[in-house]
Structure 1
């Protein structure tokens, strides 16, 4: 049964791969045999993760990429094909939230949140699906958020963008699953990541308060989400497409 989780010979493209969930997913996939292409805005953390992947005996490539633009996403896939010859897995992990009341959102900030959390998934999924469809097999795993399933007035554009990702997952799965490309989403609860911890600090929230939003009373760890990514990326989920899996350690006291 464990052979269904093996990824030997497969190539994974992971956005936001330098930190947090992206890094956690990269290491888990590499541990199970995948070569990894890491994409994001900042090259230093990408290269750090790439060294960790190579220490596991897998190939790795770090590419500074603005995933919010279609041309950069297409270039990322073209570079992956040139270097590795194939694309088998795409993990859309890049994202980020800002917290402020609805009337305080300026147009530029609103557009930036939508671009990073939704448009990037749209552009890169289309770019990666082309070679996947040509080879008749592939897996796209989107990283969404519990904010997509809740009313969160302090992060309204972020929650709306992630809800759009959930819906887009179903639409792309309906379009591509019969052609061999599965598309699934993981909606995460509170997970230990620099972006979350930095935003919590701005709001005066400590780790314990964040942890209590998860039913287990602790923060999720990036590699725990990474194993969810492994399930959707591997043949273990061969009969699963168009799904949104809510990984949040059970409902918390506040229903989050």
Structure 2
């Protein structure tokens, strides 16, 4: 049965791969045999994660990339294929946004949030699918958010973008189901990652202050989400596509 989780000989491209959920997923996939392309805006955390992957005996490539643009996404996929010759797994983990009331968002900020959280999924998936279709096989895992299921007045553009990711996941899964590409999403709750901790720090709040929004009463850890990614990336989920898995430690007291 463990062979169903083996990623030997496969190449994973992971955005936001230097920190948080992206880093957690990268290490879990590498532990199960994948070579990994790590993409993000900051070079240092990418290089650090790449070294951890190499210690595991897998190859790693760190690529500085801006996935909020179509050109940046295409360039990233091109670099991955040039280095490793293929892309078998795409993990769209890049994302995030600040919190503020609806009236305070500018038109430019609204567009930036959608470009990062939704545009990157659209552009990277389309670029990677070209190679996956040629191979006749591939998997795409989109990191969504529990915010996509709720009214979020303090993060409305982010929540809307993530809700769109859930829908796009189903549309792409349907389009490519008989062509060998599976597409799934994971909607995460509060996880101990910079996208959460940095935002809480702006308000002088401790990360555990939001632990109660998860039913288990604690924050999720990046590697826990990484194992969800492993399920969707591997043959263990060979009969699963177009799904959004909610990983938030059970609903919290307020139904979060």
Could you state the TM-score of these two structures normalised by the residue count of structure 2?
A: 0.99
Alpha-carbon distance in 1 for matches of 2:206, 2:82: 45
Asked if the contact 2:142/2:186 (under 8 Å) is kept, the reply is yes
Structure 1 stretch displaced more, 108-117 or 204-213 = 204-213
Corresponding residue for 1:178? 178
Alpha-carbon distance in 2 for matches of 1:251, 1:65: 35
Alpha-carbon distance in 1 for matches of 2:204, 2:153: 17
Gaps (5+ residues) in structure 2?
Answer: none
Corresponding residue for 2:65? 65
Alignment of 1:43-82 (within 5 A): 43-82=43-82
Corresponding residue for 2:86? 86
Question: Is residue 168 from structure 1 mapped to residue 182 from structure 2 by the alignment?
Answer: no
Root mean square deviation, CA, Å: 0.8
Alignment of 1:229-244 (within 5 A): 229-244=229-244
Gaps (5+ residues) in structure 1?
Answer: none
Alpha-carbon distance in 2 for matches of 1:73, 1:207: 32
Corresponding residue for 2:17? 17
1:235 deviates by 0.1
Find runs of 4+ consecutive structure 1 residues off by over 3 angstroms: none
Alpha-carbon distance in 2 for matches of 1:98, 1:117: 12
Corresponding residue for 2:3? 3
Alpha-carbon distance in 2 for matches of 1:37, 1:228: 19
Alpha-carbon distance in 1 for matches of 2:202, 2:81: 41
Corresponding residue for 1:227? 227
Corresponding residue for 2:142? 142
1:75 deviates by 1.3
Alpha-carbon distance in 1 for matches of 2:150, 2:133: 34
Corresponding residue for 1:96? 96
| SS in structure 1 at match of 2:213 | coil
1:254 deviates by 1.3
Asked if the contact 2:196/2:207 (under 8 Å) is kept, the reply is no
1:177 deviates by 1.3
Could you state the TM-score of these two structures normalised by the residue count of structure 1?
A: 0.99
Corresponding residue for 2:109? 109
TM-superposition CA deviations, 1:85-118 (whole Å, max 9, x none): 1110000000012100100101111111111100
Alignment of 1:195-206 (within 5 A): 195-206=195-206
Corresponding residue for 1:190? 190
TM-superposition CA deviations, 1:205-250 (whole Å, max 9, x none): 3233210000000000000000000000000000000000000000
| SS in structure 2 at match of 1:22 | helix
